[in-house]
Structure formats: C-alpha cells, structure tokens
C-alpha cells in the first residue's frame, strides 16, 4: 500500500532503527517508546489486522517474536515483557498495518497494562 508508513519503512524508503529482519517480518524500535527497547514487529507485506494475515505466517511470526524478545532480554533492557497487538480503531490501532508491540519491562517501571 503506497501511503502506508510501515510499508514504506519495510521497503527502506524511510529510515528506522532496524533491530532484526526475516523473509516476512521486520523489527524496528518504536518512534515513541513506552519503555527502553520498545520494539515493533511488522510484516513486510501489508495486512491491516491479525485476521488478515494468512495462517501460514503464524509460526514464523511467533518464532520471530521470540527471537526479538530474547535479544531484548539478553541486552538487559528488561526482566520481563509485554506483547501487545491493537486490532482496529476501537482497540487502539492507529497505523492500519498489522504490527506487534514488544515492550521490555522492569520491576517498578510504572507502566500500566491491561491485566
């Protein structure tokens, strides 16, 4: 999709801090991080929500997410982590391109998440 910021980043037409990449996904630092190391996992192909992604990408998405989380924890950016995906506007999705937030967490960091 030509006007999608995440598609443009995936095509490397806009600079971003890439932290990992696979055949189907990229991981970049969030431009407005909620915590140090806040990373976005983005499919290279445009999908609006998780429901639009083909099932066959599920295993690669999970494996890629685990790699990103492990690297954040190995870098001591957190002692735990949240994985968040907002799907559609009522759930807080702002960019209409499927993406997952990985937020490293530290004890007493003051961040509030749904529990």
CATH code, domain with 34 = 3.30.428.10
Q: Which of 56, 58, 103, 61 lies closest to 81, judged by CA?
A: 103
What's the whole-model pTM score? 0.95
In a domain, 115, yes or no: no
Query: Each residue of 44-79: b (16+ CB within 10 Å) or e?
Result: ebbbbeeeebeeebeeebeebbebbbebbeeeebbe
- Mind listing the pLDDT tens digit for each residue in 44-86? 999 999 999 999 999 999 999 999 999 999 999 999 999 999 9
Catalytic residue among 46, 97, 99, 101: 99
In a domain, 9, yes or no: yes
Strand partners, 78: none
Q: Under a CB-based contact definition with an 8 Å cutoff, are residues 36 and 18 in contact? A: no
Number of domains in the chain: 1
In a domain, 110, yes or no: no
Active site annotation includes 99: yes
Q: What is the pLDDT of residue 115?
A: 64
In a domain, 112, yes or no: no
In a domain, 12, yes or no: yes
Cα-to-chain-centroid distance, residue 47: 13
In a domain, 11, yes or no: yes
Separation CA 112–CA 115 (nearest Å) = 9
Task: Identify the domain containing residue 47 by its residue range.
Answer: 5-105
In a domain, 19, yes or no: yes
**DSSP letter (8 states) at residue 5:** H
In a domain, 113, yes or no: no
pLDDT, the chain, mean: 96
């Amino acid at each position: 999709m030509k006007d999608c910021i995440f598609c443009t980043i995936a095509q490397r037409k806009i600079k971003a801090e890439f932290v990992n990449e696979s055949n189907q996904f990229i991981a970049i630092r969030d431009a407005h991080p909620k915590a140090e190391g806040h990373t976005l996992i983005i499919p290279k192909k445009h999908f609006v929500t998780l429901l639009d992604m083909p099932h066959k990408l599920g295993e690669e998405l999970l494996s890629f997410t685990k790699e990103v989380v492990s690297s954040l924890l190995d870098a001591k950016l957190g002692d735990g982590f949240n994985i968040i995906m907002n799907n559609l506007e009522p759930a807080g999705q702002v960019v209409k391109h499927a993406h997952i937030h990985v937020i490293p967490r530290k004890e007493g960091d003051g961040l509030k998440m749904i529990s």
